[in-house]
Amino acid sequence: MNGLSNTTPTSLAPMLFDWKQLMDDETWNQEPVASAELRQPSTGDIDALPAEILKQFADVKPNVEPAPDADGVTICRECLQMKSCLETGGNLKEYIWYACLGVARFFKEPLAHELSSGYPDYTYEETEGKLERLKKNGILPTTCKRFEEINPAGCEGCPHRGIIHSPIRLGYPNWQRATVVQSSTISADTTAVVERVAVELSGDQFHVNVFQCHQVLAHGFRNVSGEYVTIDQTGCLHTLGKPGIRLVLSQYCWFTVYDKREKKNKNIAPPQDIADAVMETASTYGIAPMVYVVLRNPVIDPVTGALMGLKRGYIPEHQGYCLHDWQRDPAMLDKPDLNAVAKALQTLWQPVHRFPFESPEHRATMLCAMLSAVIRPVLPMCPGFLIDSPSFGSGKTKLATILAILTGQHEPAVIPWRNDDEAEAQKKLLSLLLMGAGAVMIDNVNGLFHSDALAAILTSSIYSDRKLSVNMMATASTRILIVFNGCNASVSADLVRRILTICIDPGIERPELRNFSFDPVEMVRQNTDDYVEAVLVILRAYICAGSPTYTSPLGSFEIWDRLVRQCVLWLDEQGLGEHFGGLADPLVTMEAARENDPDKARLSALLQAWQECFGSKGSTVQNAIKTVMEYSLAQENVELKMVLEEIAGERGTINPRILASWIKKRQGRIVDGIRFEKIDTKREKPVWAAIAQTKQVG
């Protein structure tokens, strides 16, 4: 393939090149990779088993088929693995030397023997035989991933790490050194290091061109779905469509195509088919880091208790991006004492102290919401918060806006909700999740509120749904603060364990006419850093106190419970809540909502009436309807008929399909010690019985 195979043994000298002079560079001060276990004489196993040879060069799919005559001297200067092999003459572990040989066989210089001659048992014939077998098996150049797997220390400090996929790319002039670009198109980091790549378009090199584009886009981010995204100044994520990808590629690539008429390469705009392929393969072949969440403010790691998000940049352990540098001194957050906590609590509560919270439980829930708002990006799951009031104009929207500002968002995204049009609201929710919004307010929640989508979002870290106006599924992180706003609202059984309630009651007929000496929303907006710092002080003090727990955690929200709810209980234990009327367990509001659940009341009434009419024998839905309609005057059937009409009444009769579906969805749910069970599964129509619960729970 190149001059290597034509070199004869008689032409060999101890050193074919004065490589030390060729590679002399004052910045070249890396120490050679030490190896305690040097290469042993070959046993012949690798030579005899082609599969084992292939295994040495795993993950070759992303590699490109290079042109011959790569610049070996440059590669050995730039790649630390190759440099170490050349310095030691290949006196390394055999598999490391063999990996280096997989690159050297493409050199225009016969450096393969220089990479081998330092080994005590080196022979020219053995090295030539290895090269010939590599060529015969069509092995592509060894990848950087393979080098890092077999010798991790050899890649430490490499300036090309994460940029190229194989050292062979350093041996071609059109693969240029990294340059600093001042742009936020690819990355939110304006000092990103980006390769400017010359992409030579050719029909048989389409896959190579697509992969080169993925390497350029590797300096940006991908979302949970694997699509390329940019991050704007507000922290919102924006998916790069085909036009956006073409724009980025035009900035950081030179696309050239050979003009047969003029017999030279000509520059062209990024081809549409290249952009299409890059977009379609982003989730499978994209190498840009994933970003699940954007930190608009500093937060506290819920596992380690450490401060995060103090410096702008990517946070690999949380796959998040910090949007700003924190301008405050973090030293005060090291070990705050109770005096600092009391001051922070007073600061945090000042904007909301005039709101008429109904009880200590509701004040505690509001405090939980404020703490949760700041650290929501690092909480895998967090309950929603329902701000409820018996009258309009009581300040519910102001409280929701304050919570949104604490997430780092200027205003909450508002979604008016209608139970009869949930599908449209679901698409809007997915759009907000894909954007990485900090908070959303579900507005105008009245009567019984239910939503399968919100139930899934609140208890899942990842949510998938069909994109708006597109026949395509999308996946997004659910790390968004969800706030509900309603008047005398109640939530369905599937949501009641996922939502905490904040009740405010002005106690006057026209609460919107009240006068206040300050605007709480503007107070928080103008001094956001003060309130964020107050939250961090409170949480850090709780962590430094040993994170004491007082009750069992809330299921599905264990991490949130351990850091937020237990912290509020700790504040109450320290007597710090007495300054503004006291605190209590916020879960009391959840239990109150459960007791006020109209669905639970209907199920309880149906179970009681069903058991009284049919006993342990039970009944089919059709038989129950027939019984109450034909024998409606019987005393034991009167209550059952009233409940059935409330659940499935339709135009003066009872709809059996609606009733059967209603019971099926609630089978097994225990209310007042009774539940529905199927007792005869052999019949075509199921027989339902109201059975008393006898099993011990726990």
Banded pLDDT at 2 (limits 50, 70, 90): very low
Statement: residue 48 has pLDDT above 50: no
Same domain, yes or no, for 160 and 198?
A: no
Same domain, yes or no, for 199 and 222?
A: yes
Statement: residue 175 has pLDDT above 60: no
- The predicted pLDDT at position 43 comes to 32
- Distance, in Å, from the CA atom of 299 to the CA atom of 406, rounded to the nearest integer, reads 11
Banded pLDDT at 564 (limits 50, 70, 90): very high
Note whether 214 and 245 are within 8 A (CB).
no
Mean pLDDT of all residues belonging to the chain: 80
- The predicted pLDDT at position 596 comes to 67
- The predicted pLDDT at position 352 comes to 93
What are the beta bridge partners of residue 313?
322
Same domain, yes or no, for 83 and 198?
A: no
Percent of the chain beyond pLDDT 70?
A: 82
- Distance, in Å, from the CA atom of 344 to the CA atom of 341, rounded to the nearest integer, reads 5
Note whether 604 and 690 are within 8 A (CB).
no
In a domain, 305, yes or no: no
- Distance, in Å, from the CA atom of 695 to the CA atom of 692, rounded to the nearest integer, reads 9
In a domain, 351, yes or no: no
b/e for 83-110, b at 16 or more Cβ within 10 A? bbbbbbbbbbbbbbbbbbbbbbbbbebb
pLDDT tens-digit map of 303-315: 888 899 999 999 8
Note whether 285 and 226 are within 8 A (CB).
no
Statement: residue 613 has pLDDT above 50: yes
Note whether 391 and 450 are within 8 A (CB).
no
What is the average per-residue pLDDT within 592-617? 79
- The predicted pLDDT at position 108 comes to 82
Question: What value, to the nearest 5°, has the Cα angle with vertex 25 and ends 22 and 31?
Answer: 100
Question: What value, to the nearest 5°, has the Cα angle with vertex 686 and ends 685 and 692?
Answer: 155
What is the average per-residue pLDDT within 177-203? 51
In a domain, 327, yes or no: no
Q: 226, 252, 285 — which closes off a domain?
A: 285
Statement: residue 6 has pLDDT above 60: no
pLDDT tens-digit map of 629-671: 877 666 667 888 888 888 888 877 888 898 888 888 888 888 8
Statement: residue 26 has pLDDT above 50: no
Same domain, yes or no, for 586 and 601?
A: no
For the ranges 60-69, 159-168, 462-471, the lowest mean pLDDT is seen at 60-69
- The predicted pLDDT at position 16 comes to 34
Provide the Cα torsion 245, 248, 250, 253; round to 10°: -110
What is the average per-residue pLDDT within 117-127? 87
Provide the residue range defining the domain that includes 38: 3-171
Range ranked top by mean pLDDT from 406-410, 424-428, 672-676: 406-410
Same domain, yes or no, for 420 and 451?
A: yes
pLDDT tens-digit map of 249-264: 888 888 888 888 888 8
Same domain, yes or no, for 576 and 608?
A: no
What is the average per-residue pLDDT within 59-80? 65
In CATH, what number is assigned to the domain containing residue 557?
3.40.50.300
DSSP state of 410: S
Note whether 622 and 657 are within 8 A (CB).
no
Helix (H) or strand (E) holding 50: helix 50-56
Banded pLDDT at 625 (limits 50, 70, 90): confident
Note whether 134 and 105 are within 8 A (CB).
yes
245: three-class secondary structure by DSSP: helix
Same domain, yes or no, for 218 and 367?
A: no
- The predicted pLDDT at position 438 comes to 92
Q: Which of 387, 398, 406, 411 is nearest to 354 (CA)?
A: 398
User: Please, what sign has the CA dihedral across residues 523, 524, 525, 526?
Assistant: positive
Note whether 692 and 669 are within 8 A (CB).
no
For the ranges 193-197, 211-215, 403-407, 499-503, the lowest mean pLDDT is seen at 193-197
Same domain, yes or no, for 162 and 194?
A: no
In a domain, 115, yes or no: yes
Tokens of 382: 């967090």
Same domain, yes or no, for 403 and 546?
A: yes
Provide the Cα torsion 297, 301, 307, 313; round to 10°: -60
Q: How many domains, the chain?
A: 4
- 25 vs 615, more confident: 615
- The predicted pLDDT at position 694 comes to 63
In a domain, 411, yes or no: yes
In a domain, 322, yes or no: no
pLDDT tens-digit map of 318-347: 889 999 899 888 887 888 999 999 999 999
What is the average per-residue pLDDT within 367-389? 94
Say which residue the tokens 């009567």 belong to: 447
Q: Show the beta-strand stretches assigned E in 433-576.
A: 439-449, 462-466, 473-477, 481-491, 499-503
Could you count the other beta carbons within 10 Å of the beta carbon of residue 548?
11
- The predicted pLDDT at position 36 comes to 34
Statement: residue 15 has pLDDT above 60: no
Statement: residue 183 has pLDDT above 70: no
- 41 vs 605, more confident: 605
566: three-class secondary structure by DSSP: helix
From its phi and psi, is residue 640 left (phi > 0), alpha (psi between -120 and 50) or beta? alpha
Statement: residue 419 has pLDDT above 80: no
Question: What value, to the nearest 5°, has the Cα angle with vertex 442 and ends 438 and 446?
Answer: 160
In a domain, 673, yes or no: yes
Q: 142, 171, 200 — which closes off a domain?
A: 171
What are the beta bridge partners of residue 229?
221, 239
Statement: residue 113 has pLDDT above 80: yes
Banded pLDDT at 34 (limits 50, 70, 90): very low
Entry field: residues in the chain: 698
Residue 624's alpha-carbon distances to 419, 608, 627, in angstroms, are 29, 14, 5
In a domain, 190, yes or no: yes
Q: Which of 174, 213, 165 is nearest to 70 (CA)?
A: 174
Tokens of 44: 């012949």
Helix (H) or strand (E) holding 47: helix 45-48
Same domain, yes or no, for 393 and 532?
A: yes
- The predicted pLDDT at position 13 comes to 30
221: three-class secondary structure by DSSP: strand
Same domain, yes or no, for 605 and 581?
A: no
Tokens of 639: 């209550």
What are the beta bridge partners of residue 387?
485, 502
Q: 247, 269, 285 — which closes off a domain?
A: 285
- The predicted pLDDT at position 46 comes to 31
- Rg over alpha carbons for the chain, rounded to the nearest Å, is 34
DSSP state of 578: G
**DSSP letters along 317-375, please?**
GGTEEE-S---S-GGGGSS--HHHHHHHHHHHHGGGTTS-BSSHHHHHHHHHHHHHHHH
pLDDT tens-digit map of 86-107: 888 888 888 899 899 989 988 8
Question: What value, to the nearest 5°, has the Cα angle with vertex 409 and ends 403 and 412?
Answer: 60
Statement: residue 65 has pLDDT above 60: no
Furthest CA-CA distance within the chain = 116
Same domain, yes or no, for 463 and 536?
A: yes
For the ranges 248-262, 395-409, 592-606, the lowest mean pLDDT is seen at 592-606
Statement: residue 541 has pLDDT above 90: yes
- The predicted pLDDT at position 176 comes to 40
